[in-house]
Structure formats: C-alpha cells, structure tokens
Amino acid sequence: MPGRLSDHEIRDITKALEAGIPIDDKYRYLIFKEARQVELVWNGKNTHLQDVVLPFQVIEHIDEPRDEVKLEQQQSLFDTSGKKVQGWSNKLIWGDNKYVLSSLKSGSIRDEIEASGGIKLIYIDPPFDVGADFSANIEIGNVDFEKAPTVIEEIAFRDTWGKGVDSYIAMIWERIKLARDLMAEDATIYIHCDWRVTAYMRLICDELLGKDFFLNEIILQSSVGDTSAKNRKFIKSHDTILSYTKSPNFTWNDIFQEYSEATEKTYRLEDEKGFYATGPVDNPGGGGYEYNLGFGEKMPKGGYRMPLETALDWITNGELLISEGKVPRRKIYRNEKGVRCKDVWIDIGKERDISYATQKPEKLLERIITASSNKGDIVFDFFCGSATTAAVAEKLGRKWIVSDIGRFAINTSRKRMIAVQRELKKEGKDFRSFEIYSIGNYQFNDVGEQRDFNELVLRAYKAEILNNSIFTGKKANHYVVVGPLDLPASRDFVENMVLKARDNKVVELDLLAFEFGMGVVPDAIEDARKVGVKLNLKAIPREVFDKKAVADGAVKFSEVGYLDVKIEANKLDATVTLTDFSVFYSQDSLELDGENLQKGKSKVVLDNGIIKKISKNKDGIVQIENIATSWVDWIDYWAIDFNFEDRQELKLVKHNDGRVEQVATGRNIFDNQWQSFKTNSEKIELTSSKYQYPKAGRYKVAVKVIDVFGNDTTRVFDINVGK
C-alpha cells in the first residue's frame, strides 16, 4: 500500500534523480496513491497529451448528387426520388487524426456533435502491418503506375513504426485516449487488428477504457493465409476486432444470422401437457455422457436426464418418451430472425470494388453499425481509408464523421460517398449532404529539425539561406519560404506568408512545400496577385533527402498543376468545358533509377508529368521511352460550382463573456453542384457540362480538378449571363 516514505527511501530517490538514472520500480507504488496491478509500459511512455485545438477549414460542400447535364432537371415538382435530409451535414476530414481528435474534442464542432446526440459508435481499422505503407496502384491511360507515398505520409509511417512496437503503441494509446473522451456515455468502440498487435491493443484498451467495459473479442475469418507446405505452423487466417463500451448502459441491438450449416439450428419438442425441451443440433450434450434437458417454466420437479446416444436420437427422430410413457409431439421451432450472432464470424467475405488495398467489406460494417447504433446516431472512423464506414452508415440512416491523413484516401472517399448519394437518390431513399474539411494552420515539429530541413531544401533549390524570422531564403530577386516538414502548407499558412510579403514590400515569393492544403491551388495565387505579390507555389521533391541528387543538381522543384477551361454563356445558359490539364510532378529520378536498374529489367517512372519507361539491356545500356498519354488520363475527378460566391465559410467564435457568434472568414466554400469521376469500370467521359441560371447577372464559376495522385487544382472565372 502506498504510504509515507522513509528518510532512507527519500535519500535513494534523490540520489537517483541527481545522477540521472532510473528510479527503482518499487518506489512508483510508494510515491503514487494508485498502484496498478497490471500496466502496459513502453519506452518513452508519456501520459500527458497536448490538448491542441486547431481550426477546421471547410473546403467543399456536396449537397446533392447532380451529374446530369442540366441541374434544373432534378428540381421538378414531381421528383419523387430521394432528397437531402436537412440539418446535420456529414464530415470528411483530411489531416493527422491526432489533431483531428483533439480539435473535435475541444473545438467548435464539439457543440454540433453534442447537439446531435454525441458520438455513439467508433470503428477504426488502424495500420497494423509493419510492411504496409501509403503506396497505391493507379491507372494512367493504359499504364499501371505505382504511386509512392508522399513525404508527409512517409513521416506518418515513421512516427507509427519508427521505433517498432514502442512508437506504434504510443500512437494508438494517444488516439484511443482522445477517442474515449469524444464518446457518448452509451457509445461503443470497435478496434480492428491482427496477430501482430492484438495483445498490445487489449492492454491499451483495458487501461484506457477499463477491463470491466470489455464487450467482445470478435474473430473475423479474413483470408486463406499462407498455405505453403514450407510454412511449418498453423495457418494465420483471421483478424481480431475488440469492442469496448464506455458505460454499462450502452446501445445494443441483437444481430441474427440466417440458418445454415455454419449456424446453430435449435429444435423444440413439446408433449401433450405442454412440457417442452430445446437443444442445438450440433452440440446436444455439451460433451457429457448424459444430457440434461433444458425445460421451460412448466418443468416438472427434478427434470429428466437421458444418455447422450438417446438425446442424439431424440433430436434426429423425435421418438423419446418424456412424460407418463406418452410420445411427445415433435415440433421444430425456428426464430424467424435467424440465430443470434456469435463472436466468430466466418460469413463476411471480402470486397475489392473500390481498388483500395485495405478496403473492408460493407457486410462487416453493416453488422457492427446495426448492433451498436440506431438511426440518426453519429458514427466515427478516424482511419477511414476508402470510407466503408461512412458508406454503410449513410445507407443505414446514420450520421458520420470520418478522417484520414492521405489525400488519395480522401479523394477515394469523396467519390465513393457521391456514388452512395446517387444510389440512394435513384432508389428513392433519403441522404445527407457532406462537407470536406482540412486542418488549419499548425506546426508542431521540433524547431531545430525544421531549421535543418529548411537549409536542406534551400541548398537543393540553390537559394541563399537567410537568418530571417519571416523569410527562409532568397533566390535572385525572389524571397523564399519553406513550408512545414511534416504537414501540408495550409491555406492559413499560405495567406499569412502572402500578407507578410505585402507588408515587407516583397513583390515575388516562392513558397515550397511537400504538399499544399486543399483549396490552396490556385486560389492563393490569385489572392496574392490582388495584393501586389506574385506567388509561385512549388512542390518539394523527395530527392532533397538524397545527398548525391542534391550534389548532382538532379533535384527538380515542380510547378503546381495547370488547368485550362473554356466557358461559353448564351442567354441564361453557361457551358463549362475542360480544354487542358497538366501535372508537373516527378516521383522518380531518371538518372538514379537508370543507374540502379538491374540488367534486363525495366521500370515505369514519372518525370515532370511525363510517364517514361526505363529499360536496361543485357549490356547495361539504358534506354528511355516516353509513354503517350492524353491530358484527360491525369484527371481522376472534376467538379463545378456554378455560383462560387453563394456559400461563405463561417466559423464559431467564443467571446470572453461566453457568447458564441458565427463570423464569416471571408472565404467561399466550393459547392459541389456537378461532378464526373473515374471508377473501376469507367474513365472520365464528360469534359463539358451545361447549366441554366435562374436569372441574369454576374456569377463566379469555380472548376475543381483532382488528379490521379489526389492533388487538387481549382480555378475561378467571372461570367455574365442573360445580358
């Protein structure tokens, strides 16, 4: 029991602290009031979390799935198809989920969440394969190309697995703790994992959620596994899903499975006096010699017992005398709903219709969401991947919030949810709008690490390093700013640097970043021009980390995407046509790839927006071939907002006196009114869309294009109609 420390113990602890050596574990239980009998400890464990509250920026609003040439065709008075449900808008958030969780917990959106009943269900499928990364196979024209993870995604992977299990546990521990604080009192959390991390995950959840609130360990048959004869062990072929509640009063709806060979058939026999017994077909005696019949309320005193063989015969033929020598009437009862679901699930199967490596089956989420939530409840998934959770939640009438750090995941989710909207509308079922958010300006990496990174980038950019608190460097007459090491350059960040350039009379500014936040390109360029600053946005290539590439001058900083659009106005009609699109990204280094390629091998690379095939023959001679592509091949998705000024971004501001006020940020939200996108079976077909305005006037038209890598480019145009 914890108690008062003796002088000797105080002296030992003081000496250890002064010498900078670990204190003996026994003193933990003497110093602290509560001593845990079982505790998960890892190197660098820190139970203190930064309660970081960051602004969410609304990037896009998707109201109705309008893909017709003329939008007004869907607004008929006799339209009996599905309609948008008013009120809550679902949320798709791009950003590091640690900051997404902390900002949801303590930020302005929390009030909206609580007003809608709170978060009732969380399902997460965190990365648990140390060999996994953010790469993906994408199709460009007729070429299959492997998209490498972005540098920011690689940093996230490093933070997760950089110190092995220690860093993985730390990452999960922080997020589960934040998630717990977001859960409503009657909420449940499901955590999907496999043999690599199941044991750690169970201990984390016992510590943070409480072992008394453990609900189930669900065994999910996930794959055939490695059936090779060389694999001298039992085949690993299942995942584990752990479920915990927050209180004893949690939401629960019984789940039933259909009768099949894989489920239990329950038989019931009843005699003339109403005595009855029930028993399962595949486990009649529970393994014992005698079978104790499970009679109901009318069970006679003492009950009846019989040999196992007789019980088997009874279940098969119904020929057993159970009272006063009379043969009972044989009745077979089946619950119309089926058999109550057990915790071993072998009937889920797999799905790969979204072409996303970690896609989970909709049947799996349907079972979980149906069991642990009701219609109108909020479901949350902060490792959303391809948004299976959101898709199923929408179809089952739930509200949803999902997030992911990957651009590719966000774009995949956007397309999938629009497809779900279209499906529900076509079936005459209601749907909700959803909004795409990104995290605002934030930067928490080590100051020294960022400074070293800035110098590394500036050397590769061949710019002068400035010891300046505002600008990072200078190249010719351009001032240079290097964005964050581990985060996208957000709209807030870019706008702030433009204003500083204006205030310091800088006419041309180069802003370098691994990624730019959604809505930055090219809006920020136009906004900068209005205040007298020429802004050049350039992507930092991964080769900045390659000393040889830097020394050889092989590092190429690419321009952001180029988009050309033609808009024709005729009376009240406007036709928007894409005419050109280009990307300038370089994923690979021709020189280094050619040098490292083995003889007789070839590789497809991306160099400054051009797909090239590098081959090395048996003599070691390298050949480079350009692979023809059309500009349409680079587009994964495009959308139009025909009246860009009609939806302003608003934020909630809390005053010192407690008042909460909605304040306009001065930005417009992209209102996704029309869209066309690639699917597994279809390519981009529509490169033109026609719209009829309700009245004459001046309008702003915004056109957004998402390329095959998940990067967005938006242009805004002024048009006059009806004049």
pLDDT tens per residue across span 75-108: 333 334 456 677 899 999 998 899 999 999 988 8
Contact 515, 407 (CB under 8 A): yes
Three-state secondary structure of 210-272: HHHHEEEEEEEECCCCCCCCCCCCCCCCEEEEEEEECCCCCCCCCCEECCCCCCCCEEEEECC
Q: What is the pLDDT of residue 82?
A: 56
Q: CA-CA distance, 59 to 149, in Å (whole number)? A: 23
Structure tokens at 528: 């900068």
Taking the C-alpha atoms of residue 454 and residue 583, their distance in angstroms, rounded to an integer, is 25
323 has a pLDDT exceeding 70: no
Taking the alpha carbons at both ends of the chain, their separation in whole angstroms is 86
The identity of residue 117, as a single letter, is G
For residue 443, what are its two tokens? Answer: 């930067």
Burial class of residue 723, CB neighbours in 10 A (0-12, 13-18, 19+)? exposed
Enter the pTM of the model: 0.80
In the 3-class helix/strand/coil scheme, how is 90-117 assigned residue by residue?
Answer: EEEEECCHHHHHHHHHHCCHHHHHHHCC
Cβ(293)–Cβ(329) below 8 Å: no
What SS3 class is residue 638? strand
The pLDDT tens digits of the residues spanning 2-17 come to: 456 778 778 888 888 8
Give tens-digit pLDDT for 210-250.
999 999 999 998 766 666 667 778 888 899 999 999 999 99
Q: Which of 118-132, 237-251, 254-268, 331-345 is predicted least confidently?
A: 254-268
Residue 326 has pLDDT above 60, yes or no: no
Residue 300 confidence (pLDDT): 40
Q: Which domains are present in the chain?
A: 1-35 (no CATH), 56-220+232-257+341-351+360-439 (3.40.50.150), 266-333 (no CATH), 447-483+488-540 (3.30.750), 562-721 (no CATH)
Which strands sit side by side in the sheet containing 712-721, from one edge to the other? 674-677, 635-641, 697-707, 712-721
At 175, is the secondary structure helix, strand, or coil?
helix
DSSP state of 489: B
Query: What does the mean pLDDT of the chain come to?
Result: 79
Neighbours of 619 (CB within 10 A): 7
More confident position, 541 or 70:
541
Average pLDDT, integer, range 120-141: 80
What pairs with residue 244 in β-bridges?
189, 214
Spatial distance between the Cα atoms of 136 and 160, rounded to a whole number of angstroms: 19
- Tokens 């009972």 correspond to what residue? 328
Q: Does the pLDDT of residue 294 top 70, yes or no?
A: no
* Percent over 90 (pLDDT), the chain: 35
Residue 451's H or E segment, with its range, is helix 447-461
With tokens 């499901």, the residue in question is 190
Cα 191 to Cα 220: distance, rounded to the nearest angstrom: 12
Burial class (CB in 10 A: 0-12, 13-18, 19+), 240: buried
The token pair that represents 89 in the structure block? 């808008």
Cβ-in-10-Å burial (0-12, 13-18, 19+) of 264 comes to middle
CA dihedral angle for residue 34, residue 38, residue 43, residue 48, rounded to 10 degrees: -40
Residue 672: is its pLDDT beyond 60? Answer: yes
Residue 281 predicted with pLDDT over 70: no
Predicted local distance difference test score (pLDDT) of residue 659:
76
Cα gap 476→474, rounded to integer Å: 6
If DSSP codes are grouped into helix, strand and coil, which group holds residue 717?
strand
- The more confidently predicted of residues 259 and 81 is 259
